[in-house]
A = this chain, B = another copy of it.
């Protein structure tokens, strides 16, 4: 059935993807440096017969090559990245190494080992702030406003050149905001964490009117496997829900209601939380819908489900 390598497979999306691939009967080898992913996140996967984990720095091609030993890899899923956008704003080397050099290193190993199929977790952050334009996959100009988005776009560029030279197939998944468990970052986990520290009040960056669309990780994984099955030589797809999203205020209220109903919510000013945070975003997933995929949960239901999951995770 084939062996799938997941780089960054001990992270939030990686472990959900691994479980789905195992469910479909594939074998899975996870490489991860455990800087952000963890053994705890992999949980029961570590006991699964078809699952292997090896700790390695995915920005080092020689280390990756050594970690692969004599295993023959059929497909590579590149999910390794710095997921902490403000950290990348503060120090560009974080995104450079974890988000971009990992791409260069994986491509290097794929070329050496003649591995022909790559699936890449890109991001809606490559688009930057395009105002109220509807963002489809072929839009321009691409002007990412965070190092995170810049290094995702840089990765896409290098993958495209590799596709021209030696890959048979590359999928580029432009992820939306994805939520679910095991959560390692993101607005819901932030709010839950703040409420654990100060149960009577919740401070929110910005005025709460910022609106974003969210996809549940279960729908994201379904979308990735769906796109993989289409087998376009170079497949670029926005992935996301079909609605326009949910406001920070509504998320804050949901977390408060489910976790600390007595807490007061305090808002800041302005509609941006940090440099590189795009306030509103009209994201077209029409290309993906046209292939027959549809999300099972919209932004509201995805947030409501994830809040329950994350509160459960954080109070275990």
Contacts and interface: CB of A to CB of B under 8 A. Distances in A.
Interface string A153-169: 11001101110110000
Contact of A153 (B145, B147, B154): B154
B139 A149 contact: no
Nearest to A127: B140
Contacts of A137: 141
A96 interface: yes
B107 A154 contact: no
A138 interface: yes
A80 interface: no
Given A92-B158, A164-B276, A140 B138 contact: yes
A232 interface: no
A33 interface: no
A43 to B, nearest CB: 35
Contacts of A150: 154, 157-158, 160-161
A236 interface: yes
A15 to B, nearest CB: 29
A240 interface: no
B160 A144 contact: yes
Integer count of this chain's copies in the complex: 2
A65 interface: no
A260 to B, nearest CB: 34
Contacts of A138: 140-141
Interface in A253-288: 275-276
Contacts of A146: 161, 164
Interface in A100-153: 100, 104, 107-108, 126, 128, 137-147, 149-151, 153
A89 interface: yes
Interface of A: 89, 92, 96, 100, 104, 107-108, 126, 128, 137-147, 149-151, 153-154, 157-158, 160-162, 164-165, 234, 236, 275-276
15 contacts: A92-B107, A92-B158, A100-B154, A138-B140, A139-B141, A143-B234, A144-B160, A149-B161, A150-B154, A151-B154, A151-B158, A153-B154, A157-B157, A164-B276, A165-B276
Given A128-B160, A139-B140, A144-B157, 8 more contacts: A92-B104, A92-B158, A145-B164, A146-B161, A150-B160, A151-B157, A151-B158, A164-B276
